[in-house]
Amino acid sequence: MASDLEFIRAQRSDAVESVWDKRYGGSLPASANSALDALLSHRSVRKYLPRAVPEGTLEQLVAAAQSAASSSNLQLWSVISVEDPERRRALAEVAGNQAHIQASSLFFVWIADLNRLGVLATRQGLPRVGLSYLELFLMAAIDAALAAQNAVVAAEALGLGTVYIGALRNSPDRVAQILKLPEHTFAVFGLCVGYPDPAERTAVKPRLPQNVVLHRDEYQPVQAVIDDVAAYDATMSRFYTEQNMKTAGEWSRHSALRVSDVASLRGRDRLREHLSGLGFELK
């Protein structure tokens, strides 16, 4: 056990200059600190040790989530810790049979939650007209994402690994059925949390060069940085090979294929229809 934990710590102890190099190539342009080191060291973890997290970990992660910013402090999110093995199995099936949903120590489903505010409005004797508008749904989805990312940072600070599960959106109605979600709630994504398996040496994934995503004062056309994107394609092709990933083609092509036809949306082309069935009018 000790050697496993030592390996996990070593994965997260890269000097920040080294992690910066893995993200972008080159050296860090400014001084750093441990918080930046932890953020830059993030990896998606899909292989976990069969080990429970310490008592109180769940509550610590939720506390971190609740410490995230919330639009107008409406706190339009909820999170479900899915502990029942059968429910996890059913959710894994929805998400394309991703085994880590069942193997992780904790599995969360983050909910855009307008139900709670609607109930409270009724108790106050007030109408709930605003719940019918896209703005409130967007606020709830953003609140859920901010809360979840805080939980991810906290989990990684505790030596745990994480990976988001967006594939729950493949069948929102089935997820709602499994989790008994009420009207005006929507499962935005799942999140696996657990101790990384040392046998699965997941590397820091390179990102697009900053000048591709960072715009100053006004949006710059993609054509102005196309050479940098091409260089990133080459970097990612090497990464896919080194990590034995089955990703076909360069990053640009792989990404473009995700929007090339309706089938690439994997059932999420019916998302508006599903949301309507869950009570969201989205005016």
- Condensed to tens digits (0 to 9), the pLDDT of residues 175-215 reads 999 999 999 999 999 999 999 999 988 888 999 999 999 99
| 125-155 pLDDT tens trace | 999 999 999 999 999 999 999 999 999 999 9
Comparing 24-38, 55-69, 95-109, 211-225, the range with the smallest average pLDDT is 24-38
pLDDT confidence bin for 26, thresholds 50/70/90: confident
Question: Can you give the length of the chain in residues?
Answer: 283
In CATH, the number for domain 44-199 is 3.40.109.10
pLDDT confidence bin for 165, thresholds 50/70/90: very high
The residue-averaged pLDDT of 103-118 equals: 98
pLDDT at residue 1 greater than cutoff 80: no
Q: Decide if 159 contacts 77 (C-beta within 8 A).
A: no
pLDDT confidence bin for 30, thresholds 50/70/90: low
Q: Give me the sign of the Cα torsion angle 153, 155, 159, 160.
A: negative
Which pTM value belongs to this model?
0.90
Of 38 and 78, more confident: 78
Instruction: Give the whole-number percent of the chain exceeding pLDDT 70.
Output: 92
Q: Decide if 78 contacts 188 (C-beta within 8 A).
A: no
CA pair distance 161, 163, nearest whole angstrom = 7
The residue-averaged pLDDT of 230-245 equals: 90
Instruction: Give the domain ranges of the chain.
Output: 1-41, 44-199, 208-256
pLDDT confidence bin for 157, thresholds 50/70/90: very high
| 59-87 pLDDT tens trace | 999 999 999 999 999 999 999 999 999 99
pLDDT at residue 160 greater than cutoff 50: yes
- What is the Cα 28 distance to its own chain's centre? 26
pLDDT at residue 92 greater than cutoff 50: yes
The residue-averaged pLDDT of 241-248 equals: 82
pLDDT at residue 156 greater than cutoff 60: yes
pLDDT confidence bin for 13, thresholds 50/70/90: very low
Per the prediction, the chain carries an average pLDDT of: 91
pLDDT score for 32? 63
CA pair distance 181, 104, nearest whole angstrom = 23
pLDDT at residue 96 greater than cutoff 50: yes
| Residue whose tokens read 């080159």 | 26
